[in-house]
């Protein structure tokens, strides 16, 4: 019985394991390295967040009582999009794969 459980666990582990590709490694003779790419990405993300914060301050400063219903609806839609995009830019969230959850459940059951 234990052999079949171990065999099943090993099979799931090998089938659902993620493989890493080495496509992100920069060429050694290229001056553009991973560090500069990461710094550029961080700077771009920070710039996007700054732009969104500036737009948010503009929206907060608006006199919304003079806006039509359609304009208010458009502002709400824009704020929701900004919130979703802000979460995407910040990289918030924890992601678990199905394989990892299955392995954790099997490990808990075995212990």
Tens of pLDDT, residue by residue over 42-97, are 788 888 888 888 888 888 888 888 889 999 999 999 888 888 777 666 655 566 67
Neighbours of 25 (CB within 10 A): 9
Long-range pairs for 7-15 at CB < 8 Å and ≥24 separation? 8/106, 9/103, 9/106, 9/107, 9/110, 12/99, 12/102, 12/103, 12/106, 13/99, 13/103, 15/99
pLDDT at 31: 54
Tens of pLDDT, residue by residue over 18-31, are 665 555 555 555 55
pLDDT at 70: 92
Distances (CA, A) of 16 to 100, 102, 108: 8, 10, 18
Domain-by-domain residue ranges, the chain? 2-16+34-110
Q: Give the predicted TM-score (pTM) of the model.
A: 0.45
């Amino acid at each position: 019985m234990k052999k079949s459980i171990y065999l099943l666990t090993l099979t799931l582990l090998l089938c659902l394991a993620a493989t890493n590709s080495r496509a992100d490694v920069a060429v050694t003779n290229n001056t553009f390295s991973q560090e500069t790419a990461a710094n550029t990405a961080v700077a771009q993300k920070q710039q996007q967040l700054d732009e969104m914060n500036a737009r948010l301050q503009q929206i907060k400063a608006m006199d919304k009582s003079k806006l039509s219903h359609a304009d208010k609806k458009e502002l709400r839609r824009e704020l929701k999009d900004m919130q979703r995009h802000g979460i995407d830019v910040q990289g918030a969230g924890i992601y678990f794969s199905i394989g990892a959850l299955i392995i954790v459940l099997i490990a808990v059951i075995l212990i």
